Amino acid sequence: MHKKDLVHRDIKGGNLLVTSSGDVLLADFDTATTITPGAKITSFGALGTPFWAAPEIAACDYPSVRCCVHVCVCVCVLCVCA
């Protein structure tokens, strides 16, 4: 996804599917869009689920790979703590 400058904008536990072999797949690309690296999000506003949103997405700011890292950490923390 990142090599194609694609941002999902709604990564959350409900959009992660686990196969019988243990692979994790990302689902629900309704809010996904391509971005220009370094460009500020202005045309589409904040989308996705607020609880899971990275600060950059919530602020309609400059999305990057860090947004995915933020959400992955949230998912891992909730899996361990739940």
Q: Please give the positions annotated as active site.
A: 10
The neighbouring-strand residues paired with 37 are: none
- In the chain, which ranges are E strands? 6-7, 16-18, 24-26, 33-34
Q: Are 60 and 42 in contact (CB under 8 A)?
A: yes
